[in-house]
């Protein structure tokens, strides 16, 4: 029995050889969904009919030979020619397209548009019929697959952002032939439960959630019966199906559409988040206010310590003593009477007088010396030293001319001044 055991790589290799050798250059007709262009220039899409689907790839070089690929959209029917390829690491197979030719709009896309027009004409999409979404729901129900990524994303955001909201998870099939029936049954159970529940247990909001996928994967939410059930549901509903670009009939019928399950969780908890942030902000302000108030009381308590009070009193006493000292008139007599200013002014005046007297004395002394020099120069005694003499009349006048001498009486006593003394002489009579 052990001889029949194979390794996974060996087994997948045999399948790869079997498929690729027997299914080459095959032609397939189907509907294109999930069409995408990679950054490297390769095209990837799903080729399907109402019962099955297969992955397909059109690589860059083949895409250059098939320029019509750029005009093909999801929902269109095409014919492709290519080879089956097995990818060993994943154990999956796909068709490598060599040629692609569009042949018209696909059945699923056509059915979707037809049902959309019908329900729109019957008023299921009217905005007036939509119920308001509660801003602060206390209890919500989410219809989704129990082990799906959509539920985990929703719950992760709910745990991070919600404060008091309760979630009732209703496990439901969201893909396959039985999915529409399962979704409707879950919706009916929620409505019945909410009607029979007490006021604190009632469901205030229903969320339909599913991850992204192809048009076939989301087809369960295009059921006409489900659309009517959602339209008549007494509880507000939110559709959170697929990705932002995915649309289904439930998106148009529900009271509100969210791009993804995560976006639905954020929308439902938005008001709670605002309240939470407001509470946190208020808490911070209260803590800051209490800290400030506590700091002020601590400072007041610190200043009220006897040691600090004593220091303050001593400081004030010191200040009062200085003020009292300034009030002592005896010590401040000169300051209060301004006599010191007069002393200073008097000293300055004395110095000025001294300088003026010295200057005046010097000036007079200089003039005196100059006059003495002049008198010495004019002193007759100095002339007598050089051999000169002069005669005075009896009345003491110096005889300076012959005329003056002649008018004197004869035998008048005259004084003859010489260098070393005075001699008396008589005026002789006039010569004949």
Q: Which tokens is 399 given?
A: 């005889």
- Rounded to 5 degrees, what are φ and ψ at 392? -110, 145
The size of the chain, in residues, is: 432
Instruction: Please report, rounded to a whole number, the percentage of residues in the chain having pLDDT higher than 90.
Output: 36
Q: For the packed helices 107-121 and 224-232, what is the interaxial angle rounded to 10 degrees?
A: 30
Could you give all domains of the chain from N- to C-terminal order, each with its CATH number? 2-105 (2.40.50.140), 112-268 (3.40.50.2300), 382-426 (no CATH)
Confidence of residue 237 (pLDDT cuts 50, 70, 90): very high
Confidence of residue 1 (pLDDT cuts 50, 70, 90): very low
Tell me, what's the pLDDT at 242?
A: 80
**How far is residue 172's CA from residue 142's CA, in Å, rounded to a whole number?**
10
Q: What is the DSSP letter of 304?
A: T
**How far is residue 244's CA from residue 324's CA, in Å, rounded to a whole number?**
88
Reported as a single tens digit per residue, the pLDDT across 363-376 is: 999 999 888 888 87
Tell me, what's the pLDDT at 405?
A: 79
**How far is residue 270's CA from residue 160's CA, in Å, rounded to a whole number?**
11
Q: Per-residue pLDDT averaged across 10-25, rounded?
A: 85
Global pTM value: 0.50
Non-local CB neighbours of 174 within 8 Å, separated by 6+ positions: 144, 145, 148, 182, 183, 210, 220, 221
Instruction: Please report, rounded to a whole number, the percentage of residues in the chain having pLDDT higher than 70.
Output: 94
Reported as a single tens digit per residue, the pLDDT across 154-188 is: 999 988 888 888 999 999 999 888 899 999 999 99
Reported as a single tens digit per residue, the pLDDT across 382-405 is: 777 777 777 888 887 888 887 887
| Buried residues in 385-410 as b, exposed as e (16+ CB within 10 A) | eeeeeebebeeeeebeeeeeeeebee
């Amino acid at each position: 029995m052990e001889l029949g055991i194979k390794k996974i790589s060996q087994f997948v290799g045999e399948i790869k050889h079997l498929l690729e050798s027997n299914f080459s250059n095959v032609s397939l007709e189907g509907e294109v969904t999930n069409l995408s262009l990679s950054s490297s220039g390769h095209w990837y899409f799903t080729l399907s009919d109402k019962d099955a689907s297969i992955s397909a790839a059109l690589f860059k070089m083949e895409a250059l030979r098939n320029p019509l690929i750029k005009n093909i959209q999801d929902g269109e029917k095409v014919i492709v020619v290519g080879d089956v390829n097995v990818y060993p690491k994943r154990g999956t197979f796909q068709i490598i397209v060599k040629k692609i030719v569009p042949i018209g709009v696909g059945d699923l896309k056509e059915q979707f548009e037809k049902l959309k027009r019908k329900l729109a004409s019957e008023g299921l999409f009217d905005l007036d019929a939509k119920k308001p979404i509660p801003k602060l729901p206390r209890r919500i129900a989410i219809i989704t697959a129990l082990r799906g990524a959509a539920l985990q994303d929703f719950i992760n955001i709910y745990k991070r952002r919600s404060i008091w909201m309760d979630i009732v998870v209703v496990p439901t099939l969201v893909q396959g032939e039985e999915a529409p029936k399962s979704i409707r049954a879950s919706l009916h159970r929620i409505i019945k439960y909410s009607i029979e529940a007490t006021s604190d247990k009632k469901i205030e909001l229903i969320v339909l959630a599913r991850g992204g996928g192809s048009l076939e994967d989301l087809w369960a939410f295009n059921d006409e019966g489900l659309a009517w059930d959602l339209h008549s549901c007494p509880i507000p509903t939110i559709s959170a199906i697929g990705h932002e670009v995915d649309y289904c009939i439930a998106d148009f019928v529900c009271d509100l559409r969210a791009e993804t399950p995560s976006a639905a969780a954020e929308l439902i908890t938005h008001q709670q988040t605002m309240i939470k942030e407001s509470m946190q902000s208020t808490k911070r302000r209260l803590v800051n206010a209490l800290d400030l108030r506590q700091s002020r009381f601590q400072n007041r308590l610190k200043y009220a310590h006897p040691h600090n009070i004593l220091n303050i009193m001593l400081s004030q006493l010191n200040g009062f003593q200085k003020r009292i000292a300034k009030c002592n008139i005896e010590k401040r007599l000169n300051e209060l009477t301004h006599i010191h200013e007069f002393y200073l002014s008097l000293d300055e005046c004395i110095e000025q007088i001294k300088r003026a007297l010295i200057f005046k004395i010097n000036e007079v002394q200089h003039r005196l010396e100059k006059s003495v020099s002049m008198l010495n120069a004019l002193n007759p005694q100095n002339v007598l030293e050089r051999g000169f003499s002069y005669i005075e009349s009896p009345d003491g006048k110096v005889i300076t001319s012959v005329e003056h001498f002649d008018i004197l009486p004869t035998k008048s006593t005259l004084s003859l001044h010489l260098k070393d003394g005075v001699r008396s002489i008589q005026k002789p009579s006039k010569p004949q």
